[in-house]
Amino acid sequence: MLPIDLTGKNAFVAGVADDNGYGWAIAKALAQAGATVRVGTWPPVCKIFTRSMGLGKLNMTLAGGGELQIEKIYPMDAAFDVPEDVPKEVAEDKRYKQFVGYTIQEVADQIKKDLGGDSLDILVHSLANGPEVKKPLVETSRKGYLAAVGSSAYSLVSMVQRFGPYMGDEGAVISLSYLAAEKVIPGYGGGMSSAKAALENDTRTLAYEAGRRWSIRVNTISAGPLSSRAARAIGSIEKMVDYYETHSALSGVNTAPDVANATAFLCSPLAAGITGETLHVDKGYNVMGMTAEDQLGK
């Protein structure tokens, strides 16, 4: 037996706001493998998320038995690197005013302090935001485009830059991408396809730079569509899921645990020789060159 064992590892999963997205599934898989898990949550929903967990409204059950234990929840907005980046109107917004230390640098510093002499071993970037995602690229504004790239792609660079010095040798960084980085996905607009392409390219460059500087591995998972609360902002997510269901190589659509299990593998010693890769977890949809017709399926 060759198990995935993350016992003694410290993990931080950025981008968890409910119990039906990829981030939550990844947190559970890492915990099931033995890791101590901390999560980062967008400030405007942090209070709701924390309250829901306290009231037992979230599914904490682990596949192998037991329940998910989250060591700490950190308010985090990946659009801001340092306190000076936060605009006055955001800082004074009632959704933010109750929190302090929610920029990427501040969260990294807090985690270092909380871990004491231990290092961070696993960093998961489950973050994406495109304010104009429903607009075709040709109608996307400069502001909307840059917001999508900044929150969905540059945030990975910023996190590696700021968390990297606190990570131990053989640390692992994982982000989540989508097939729109490679091919046209109608309805996935607002610069999000560009952001995912940047994310995958940055993964390769960071794999070299962070690998040589801190001996950490950087990979991304190109996951199929998931009808999570966050993904519903796209508007056509259900159609995307149905299309994958019909036309993937395995005639189905991946689940959140599929992606989470692949993440646990990439973060484990079993994947010690893998870095700079984009791993597709989409039931083989990405390999198809034409729609799967019934007669071919039979």
* pLDDT tens by residue, 179-222: 999 999 988 999 999 999 999 999 999 999 999 999 999 999 99
| Rounded Cα gap, residues 69 and 61, in angstroms | 10
Share of the chain above pLDDT 70, in %: 94
222 strand-pairing partners: 177, 280
Helix, strand, coil distribution of the chain in percent, nearest 5? 45, 15, 40
Point out the catalytic residue in the list 22, 96, 188, 285: 188
The candidate with the shortest Cα–Cα distance to 176, out of 141, 142, 207, 152, is 152
Does residue 183 contact residue 240 with C-beta atoms inside 8 Å? no
Out of 74, 96, 145, 178, the active site residue is: 178
Those residues whose C-beta lies under 8 Å from the C-beta of residue 266, and which sit 6 or more positions away, are 172, 174, 217, 219, 221, 274, 279
pLDDT confidence of residue 215: 97
Q: Where are the alpha helices (DSSP H) in 59-103?
A: 88-91, 94-97
Q: What's the mean pLDDT when you consider all of the chain?
A: 93
Q: Which residues pair with 281 in a beta bridge?
A: 223
Q: Is 284 helix (H, G, I), strand (E, B) or coil?
A: coil
Residues near 131 by beta carbon (within 8 Å), at least 6 away in sequence: 144, 147, 148, 190
Residues 6+ apart with CB under 8 A from 246: 291, 292
Indicate the burial class of 281 (C-beta count within 10 angstroms; 0-12, 13-18, 19 or more). Answer: buried
Give yes or no: 178 in active site.
Answer: yes
Convert the pLDDT of each residue in 220-263 to its tens digit: 999 988 765 565 556 566 787 888 888 889 988 899 999 999 99
Active site residue 244: no
Structure-model confidence comparison of residues 109 and 20, the more confident one: 109
- Paired tokens of 88: 């006055």
User: Two tokens at 35?
Assistant: 């890791």
| Whether pLDDT at 151 is above 90 | yes
Question: Can you tell me the distance from the alpha carbon of 250 to that of 39, in angstroms, rounded to the nearest whole number?
Answer: 33
Task: Give the rounded percent of residues in the chain with a pLDDT score beyond 90.
Answer: 80
Question: In this predicted structure, what is the pLDDT of residue 251?
Answer: 86
pLDDT at 233: 58
Length of the chain: 298
Return the CATH superfamily for domain 10-297: NAD(P)-binding Rossmann-like Domain (3.40.50.720)
pLDDT at 298 over 80: no
Average the pLDDT over each of 27-31, 118-122, 245-249, 255-259 and give the range with the smallest value.
245-249
Is the full-model pTM beyond 0.85? yes
Residue 290 in tokens: 């034409």
Q: What are phi and psi of 252, to 5 degrees?
A: -175, 180
The Cα–Cα gap between 193 and 180 comes to 5
Confidence grade of residue 53 (pLDDT, cut at 50, 70, 90): very high
